Structure 1
């Protein structure tokens, strides 16, 4: 493990201690603290050793190593007894504060006798009395011991809670939690929640709060009917304790919460995210709490019949939920028994039993935007994507199954997919015996059928290379089986897949069009040269021919390619009508409607879709209704009739519920409904449809599409202010195995991480957000093909570093952004970030930061000049106006008031006075207000400031912008009062 350089003097030691204190708690911080204690012992001055020991005890305490914390404290206490003058007021305060840490550590160790715990409390009381300190902290520890042991806590609670707090009392948030838990133990949920409210509302906090209180409040919130509040606090609270060894108990309660609200799948996900806690938690008491929460979850998973699901557990072996539950139960029972033996009560065994005996409090509660059941959690990618929808009946007889599957496949029936999946499993078995039945044909034909079906699914998922290989193999097997018609179909599929592969690598639409034209010509030859085609085979060939031309039209959008598509579609429609092949008649109409839409004749496309819907309603097939309604809905969206589109898409989704989702386009219906909802101003509903679409894509193996859709959902949730939902969703996605293994496109992963970093920033977790931005900026520096994205990321990184007061690093990040911007301009984003960086520096450093802030604004000025020269128009106010306003703010923060006023006057000139329907009124009024503050208050020239303000109020009032006048009127009143 890397260690810090050995300090050679006390200054270096103190610097190393400060650097270590910035590290997260864990082995790296603890090992470094141990080394710094060794280094401190070389100095004659004992103060460095005291400080190093204090840091080491903190590392042990918050790194969940209670056995070591008291040993370090004993050294500190000895130093204090021997050299009390070494401890100044601050060090003395820290020493007496940590008596409580030792109490907590000793309680957590069942090998420490109860008499020793009581002796330690006596030691604490004696020390406090000798030092003239109030005893409220001592009584707080006495109460905690009584509660831990399981004694009657009535008197102990009153002796503690009724006393006046002292400087050494635990923080208000921690004491609130303790009082609330006392009421909770007494069975009074409402009183507990009332006591907790200041912490739950964010009014009181500390290092471990509100995360600790949030975990305890979850179940009482459910029991009192506040499920939505519990959901919110679960998301916020879990993020505050995940992977943290010193908060493993809290993680256990979040796992329990998942188990009791129908969220067992999320519980398993969180368990996997916290697998480190099985090995890194050295506190037996924390282990007991954590393992009990784990067991509640795994017990529920087993009861639901999913004991064979994989579960994350102790290192060194692979666990199932059932196997891990047995291991956890054994360890937790042993721990509870050890504590009860020490305490001479049954309190810990009883508490464990109470938790394990709880029935679910809700059947289901949507905790996150990504809601999954245990049925959706699989150990590996299945051979065939799981269908979502009613399960079709699959024949038991193998012969009947093969014949039924082929018949369904001829019809294009959605139930064929489940039958193919069943056949694939049977044929892959070692003991498979092929039926000796002429109606079934040889095994080579069946294997070819399975390959052809797999090829079709690969094509649907745009895995064209896989589709080509599978079709080629299937065609050879069909030849061996004496099935020339089926061989022709698979070769047509091969032609289409190869055309798609060529199109993907082609340079420009014309090259793509050529590949599809050639594929169509080859299909026509195959069609003409293959004798003995059945009507269904010939209809499928006609459909593939039309599809090739439709794809060509979609590629070129050229009117000269329209007629050819209609000709093929009409040929298909006529042939299918002659042979009464309903599915292909419908397919021909769908092609015609789509062709009208692509060619720009939207009314004709709607008319065609209307006619098809009438036909489908009368003659079927019913499973084509959802796709057809979806097509008409999309066309109506383009026609800007969002309400009609919503009606079609919602009806399509309702009908799609009767069929497997991947067979009727359910995913696309959800995605299109999301767009319709956004047009109708219903973003929350849009968010639900986006997440449903994404999860369906994941289930069906379309992982890149799924992550893209989820990325959009995450951004929408952030835009809606659902910060914790956004973070929880992205945490779940980034924990997916293919993401963790680096198998997903790195740019898509970076986009997910970028949205998460922005959400962390919005959620005021500046430290975590900055760390993620810094990491992304470093990674994106190597994106030579996308310098603009690096410019954006580096610019935002600079702002976050500035918020943390790290202006030197912020300047470095800004320089990286400027260099990347020079290669791939991002005018507005860079300008916004640079102005914000300058504002932060002037705001935090005042006059001392003014030169650097003005240098940053000079860079923003050059960007504004470049944008103007390039003819770039900003989406909001002009970059020049924004820059002038920022010059005003920066100079005002630095005390350069004359320069500030001049800059604000320039900004007002650039803005121009607002009009009646002008959305610039608010911005103009704010600029006037700030100019009034600078002129009237800072420069102490109230008369001209009042003239400015009064004129602005008159103007805005005349234009009907009365709301914008409120701040101006208030400032004017203040200036008049001060005259």
Structure 2
């Protein structure tokens, strides 16, 4: 709170503002300050309101020690001045007797006698006030269940009574009844009792999050795994990082541990690390810590006790050390409660949870299934495993590496990796063997291999430098042919390095493309020169030189998009094919045909490209080399998909993925294969399969260290899941990504992270979590305001933020946000998006505020009018109806909301004139019909001109029916009947 309220009106406004905050320290501290400020006014009613807010903050901020103290002050005020408590305040006071009972149960230092004394106080107060005692019996039952007494009688005394005005809400009582049956071992009856809450029919502040957390294991035991998965995703989101739902978080961790999702459990534990210090309720701590211990015990049992784990602040923890600390604290808490209660209930319940065996070996909970191996701290990548065992002797290993490398065999990478490890060892002794050659040659080989791997990762500058260094060593070793090829490789790698500043937004795209074309043309000329100056080199090296020449031509075509560059590529590819055929170089024969097919595809000649790819696949099936087959199948699948044959593409790509598993990762770009197969799946309507391939692609990219690419792919998966309406899957995936260390530490591209957050905010909105969605949009709008290089994106985010604020009725803040959008739009126009937002804000204000909101709504429409004028001036065309038409319709609708019916009808007739007569397009016909319908309602119902309205509507219905738009005509025929009947 920046300044203390100076009047009671300011105090009430501050209380309302604080009530909109999430529970936690910020809200609690503000409530404390407001309570202190309320004391200064010397008036009881403002103080009562401030104390009620403070008690609520303590209760839902998991500070049970403070809640009873505040309530005692309220009770004293009531005893001293009962007349200042109106019906609402009186209801609040008596309702909160239950809050105090709950708070006292949470504190083991409060004697059992004091808990019973408070219940007696509650009963006496209720009886004196003439209130129903059902809430009292509810508290008596909950105390018996907490202590571990026989609850049968207490349950009947409570559950058998009729609910009253002060009874707990239906959702909370449903949960208590279900827990009674669950404690009795009757899962089926418990789940039946829970149906209204789990099905979304009943809810409150604590529900359904509390019920969901308890129902997860019974659902698994009943075989309802899909329902358990869905509720886990939705339920966890409802309690994450919330001190008042720490016990629920603990049960979600337990659920992860018992379903083979230990890695997700550790991730959720890290996300909720603050709960270790924020939860001040000993009972909630016990519940949380027991769930944490179940998870840690399971991870340890699987042999991962040394994994890092997020625990109590102040030190680093492993799974094993944190488990020991959690066990010590939880055992102590359970013993304290049992000592207070005179039973062993809490120790026994802990033992039962810790003794549960996993219910499922594996249950895929999210779109990002991970194992404990995936969360092991990153180390140096393991050397690729070859198909055959490698020789042990260095001389044999060197010979094998060079033999495989000459063939282009992917197992060569494993040989080079083994040799790199051997040569870096202090005790390495190079073989004294003429066949092996000097050490300098081996060092050149290893440098060339390192350069090749860098080039494949698009680290072209590093690759060029390594190739040049290798060339020098080859010359020292007396191998000019190898030196020429290494130098040629450096030329092509260097040509692909993007010069500093070339990608700046203000650079001319055509100029950049022309510069790239020139660079690749120069690189090709240099490759030809190197080739011509290296006569008599080994055929496999000469074939590789020819292949580099084809690649340079292909890069030029990519940069220019000019079809005149196709023929030179095909000519170079033919040179490579003829040369490879003469010398029996099967790998280069396949490469030449692959380049030929790729060139035809790039040129847009897909039928010819497919014929080439088909021939290549058959060649590889019969003559090999087999390791080229996955790549050829990938190309064929892409071409088939481009030709509209998604089924054939799916078959080719699926086979490519299956065959890729037989070769080292360096041989095939498997992540890309999965991404391409996801596209084919989408084309076939196999959305779930598409999501699996997208997430598989992303996880493989992560393992390969391509984190930016991985997060881009995951972003696509999240967007797809949102498009499919799988809201919880989308949010859970994004929540998992946004807690990755490089995201939290700000090391990942900030715009990519913003895109992930934007998708998450849209998913929250689609899931009707408007409060969370609005908070995220507001934060993103503030951050994107600094994107001077991308004002268009800020315009988009600010516009969406404004609409959400409008939906919440906060039109002053919405005005600020949409003004930001307009300012950014002026720099980088987003005509349709900004216009849509302004019209929607106008509609919302008129709809929510009626005639009082008409002035503000018209201001939004005036802005939309200026946007439409500017769009018309530059010839902008909207995707749907024109901005002018949409604006006229909105003027009609808004004036109708506000009761300005003549203005509404005039605007709707203008919209109809702009739309013109309906034709064959069903969408246009639908818009036209809706416009006629609204005009008919305004004219016939509100302006009471039934005859002309009926004529208008009937003529329009006939017109639509004659055009075959029967569905669009139905709404009009229904209105016509109402007008004829005089409704």
With normalisation by structure 1, the TM-score equals 0.94
Aligned to 1:363: 361
Q: Is the 8 A contact 1:385 1:700 kept in 2?
A: no
Cα shift readout 1:892-916 (whole Å, capped 9, x = no counterpart): 1101112112222222232233235
Q: Report 1:540-689 matches (<5 A).
A: 540-661=544-665, 663-689=667-693
SS in 2 for 1:42: helix
Q: Is the 8 A contact 2:922 2:965 kept in 1?
A: no
Aligned to 1:836: 840
Of 408, 431, 451, which aligns to 1:412? 408
Cα shift readout 1:925-955 (whole Å, capped 9, x = no counterpart): 2222222222232223333333333333333
> Which range moves more in the overlay, 335-344 or 577-586?
577-586
> Which range moves more in the overlay, 569-578 or 808-817?
569-578
Aligned to 1:931: 935
Cα shift readout 1:285-310 (whole Å, capped 9, x = no counterpart): 11121122222222222233333322
Question: How far, CA to CA, are the matches of 2:728 and 2:181 in structure 1?
Answer: 29
Task: Check if 1:397 corresponds to 2:395.
Answer: no
Distance of aligned partners of 1:570 and 1:958 in 2 relative to their CA distance in 1, 3 Å threshold: closer
Question: How far, CA to CA, are the matches of 2:86 and 2:427 in structure 1?
Answer: 83
Aligned to 1:306: 304
Task: Check if 1:293 corresponds to 2:297.
Answer: no
Of 774, 778, 783, which aligns to 1:774? 778
Question: How far, CA to CA, are the matches of 1:345 and 1:510 in structure 2?
Answer: 83
Q: Report 1:881-896 matches (<5 A).
A: 881-896=885-900
Cα shift readout 1:411-437 (whole Å, capped 9, x = no counterpart): 3334444555566566667x6645646
Distance of aligned partners of 1:16 and 1:357 in 2 relative to their CA distance in 1, 3 Å threshold: same
Distance of aligned partners of 1:739 and 1:483 in 2 relative to their CA distance in 1, 3 Å threshold: farther
Question: How far, CA to CA, are the matches of 1:46 and 1:820 in structure 2?
Answer: 49
Aligned to 2:330: 332
Distance of aligned partners of 1:572 and 1:784 in 2 relative to their CA distance in 1, 3 Å threshold: same
Distance of aligned partners of 1:154 and 1:591 in 2 relative to their CA distance in 1, 3 Å threshold: same
Of 453, 459, 472, which aligns to 1:457? 453
Task: Check if 1:819 corresponds to 2:791.
Answer: no
Q: Report 1:668-747 matches (<5 A).
A: 668-747=672-751
Q: Is the 8 A contact 2:597 2:612 kept in 1?
A: yes
Question: How far, CA to CA, are the matches of 1:421 and 1:111 in structure 2?
Answer: 64
Cα shift readout 1:695-744 (whole Å, capped 9, x = no counterpart): 22222222222222222222221111111111112222222222222222
Question: How far, CA to CA, are the matches of 1:527 and 1:309 in structure 2?
Answer: 54
Of 464, 476, 501, which aligns to 1:468? 464
Q: Is the 8 A contact 1:798 1:813 kept in 2?
A: yes
Aligned to 1:761: 765
Question: How far, CA to CA, are the matches of 2:120 and 2:912 in structure 1?
Answer: 71
Q: Give 5+ residue unaligned stretches, structure 1.
A: none
Aligned to 1:97: 95
Aligned to 1:211: 209
With normalisation by structure 2, the TM-score equals 0.93
Of 469, 493, 499, which aligns to 1:497? 493
Question: How far, CA to CA, are the matches of 2:469 and 2:81 in structure 1?
Answer: 86
Aligned to 2:506: none
Q: Is the 8 A contact 2:31 2:50 kept in 1?
A: yes
Q: Is the 8 A contact 1:455 1:470 kept in 2?
A: yes
CA displacement at 1:206 relative to structure 2:
1.3
SS in 1 for 2:232: helix
Of 882, 907, 911, which aligns to 2:911? 907
Aligned to 1:35: 33
Question: How far, CA to CA, are the matches of 1:742 and 1:366 in structure 2?
Answer: 29
Aligned to 2:19: 21
Distance of aligned partners of 1:33 and 1:421 in 2 relative to their CA distance in 1, 3 Å threshold: farther
Question: How far, CA to CA, are the matches of 2:625 and 2:782 in structure 1?
Answer: 55
Q: Is the 8 A contact 2:460 2:497 kept in 1?
A: yes
Distance of aligned partners of 1:281 and 1:405 in 2 relative to their CA distance in 1, 3 Å threshold: farther
Aligned to 1:918: 922
Question: How far, CA to CA, are the matches of 1:549 and 1:540 in structure 2?
Answer: 14
Question: How far, CA to CA, are the matches of 1:482 and 1:285 in structure 2?
Answer: 78
Question: How far, CA to CA, are the matches of 2:146 and 2:756 in structure 1?
Answer: 44
> Which range moves more in the overlay, 519-528 or 353-362?
519-528
Distance of aligned partners of 1:398 and 1:736 in 2 relative to their CA distance in 1, 3 Å threshold: farther
Distance of aligned partners of 1:186 and 1:791 in 2 relative to their CA distance in 1, 3 Å threshold: same
SS in 1 for 2:188: helix
Question: How far, CA to CA, are the matches of 1:294 and 1:738 in structure 2?
Answer: 25
> Which range moves more in the overlay, 632-641 or 615-624?
632-641
CA displacement at 1:241 relative to structure 2:
0.8
Q: Is the 8 A contact 2:383 2:417 kept in 1?
A: no
Alpha carbon RMSD of aligned pairs, Å? Answer: 2.7
CA displacement at 1:840 relative to structure 2:
0.3
Cα shift readout 1:438-467 (whole Å, capped 9, x = no counterpart): 466666655555544343233222222333
> Which range moves more in the overlay, 90-99 or 635-644?
635-644
Distance of aligned partners of 1:296 and 1:131 in 2 relative to their CA distance in 1, 3 Å threshold: same
> Which range moves more in the overlay, 398-407 or 246-255?
398-407
SS in 1 for 2:497: helix
Question: How far, CA to CA, are the matches of 1:609 and 1:512 in structure 2?
Answer: 29
Distance of aligned partners of 1:515 and 1:720 in 2 relative to their CA distance in 1, 3 Å threshold: same
Aligned to 1:178: 176
Question: How far, CA to CA, are the matches of 2:422 and 2:54 in structure 1?
Answer: 62
Question: How far, CA to CA, are the matches of 1:78 and 1:753 in structure 2?
Answer: 48
Distance of aligned partners of 1:298 and 1:466 in 2 relative to their CA distance in 1, 3 Å threshold: farther
Cα shift readout 1:238-292 (whole Å, capped 9, x = no counterpart): 1111111111111111122222222222222212211111221111211121122
CA displacement at 1:490 relative to structure 2:
3.9
SS in 2 for 1:166: coil
Cα shift readout 1:662-703 (whole Å, capped 9, x = no counterpart): 531222222222222333344343333222222222222222
Aligned to 2:70: 72
Q: Is the 8 A contact 1:661 1:667 kept in 2?
A: no
Distance of aligned partners of 1:82 and 1:821 in 2 relative to their CA distance in 1, 3 Å threshold: same
Cα shift readout 1:175-222 (whole Å, capped 9, x = no counterpart): 111112222222222222222222222221111211222222222222
Q: Is the 8 A contact 2:647 2:684 kept in 1?
A: yes
Q: Report 1:93-492 matches (<5 A).
A: 93-380=91-378, 382-384=379-381, 392=387, 395=390, 397=392, 399=394, 404-418=400-414, 433-434=428-429, 436=431, 438=433, 449-475=445-471, 486-492=482-488
Of 951, 957, 963, which aligns to 1:953? 957
CA displacement at 1:891 relative to structure 2:
0.6
Aligned to 1:47: 45
Question: How far, CA to CA, are the matches of 2:600 and 2:72 in structure 1?
Answer: 84
Aligned to 2:507: none
Cα shift readout 1:90-142 (whole Å, capped 9, x = no counterpart): 22222221121111112112222222222222222122222221111111111
Q: Is the 8 A contact 1:503 1:515 kept in 2?
A: no
Question: How far, CA to CA, are the matches of 2:945 and 2:82 in structure 1?
Answer: 58
CA displacement at 1:5 relative to structure 2:
1.8
CA displacement at 1:818 relative to structure 2:
1.7
Task: Check if 1:867 corresponds to 2:863.
Answer: no
CA displacement at 1:528 relative to structure 2:
5.4
CA displacement at 1:842 relative to structure 2:
0.3
Q: Is the 8 A contact 2:307 2:319 kept in 1?
A: yes
Question: How far, CA to CA, are the matches of 2:401 and 2:120 in structure 1?
Answer: 80
Question: How far, CA to CA, are the matches of 1:424 and 1:504 in structure 2?
Answer: 33
